[in-house]
Amino acid sequence: MELEKTAKVSLVGAGPGAKDLITVRGLRVLNEADVILYDALISDELLSELRTDIPKIYTGKRCGKHSHTQDEINELIVKYAFEYGHVVRLKGGDPFVFGRANEEIEYVESFGIPVSIIPGISSSIAVPSSQGIPMTKRGVSSSFWVMTATKKDGAFSQDLQYAAKSSTTMVILMGIRKLSEIVDEVSKYRGRMTPIAVIQNGTTENESCVVATLDSIHHHTPNIDTTMHGIIVIGDVVADHPSFFEEEVQRILHGAI
Number of independent structural domains in the chain: 2
Q: What is the mean pLDDT of each run of 10 residues along the chain (257 residues)?
A: 78 97 98 96 94 95 70 96 98 94 97 98 96 96 92 82 96 94 96 96 95 95 91 97 74 49
Whether residue 130 is found in the same domain as residue 249: yes
Question: Do 188 and 240 lie in a common domain?
Answer: yes
pLDDT at 251: 56
Whether 3 is covered by a domain: the verdict is no
Q: What is the pTM of this model?
A: 0.90
Q: Kindly report, residue by residue over 197-227, the tens digit of the pLDDT.
A: 999 999 999 999 999 999 999 999 999 998 8
pLDDT tens for residues 134-149?
Answer: 999 999 999 999 999 8
223 and 162 within one domain: yes
- Domain end marker among 67, 91, 118: 118
Residue 100's domain is classified under what CATH number?
3.40.1010.10
Task: Answer whether residue 229 is part of any domain.
Answer: yes
Average pLDDT score over the chain: 91
Residue 155: give the domain boundaries: 123-255
Domain membership flag for residue 171:
yes
Instruction: Find the CATH number of the domain harbouring 206.
Output: 3.30.950.10
SS3 readout for the chain: CCCCCCCEEEEEECECCCHHHCCHHHHHHHHCCCEEEECCCCCHHHHHCCCCCCCEEECCEECCEECCCHHHHHHHHHHHHHHHCEEEEEECECCCCCCCHHHHHHHHHCCCCCEEEECCCCHHHHHHHHCCCCCCECCCECCEEEEECECCCCCECHHHHHHHCCCCEEEEECCHHHHHHHHHHHCCCCCCCCEEEEEECCCCCCCEEEEEECCCHHHHHHHCCCCCCCEEEECHHHHHCHHHHHHHHHHHHHHHC
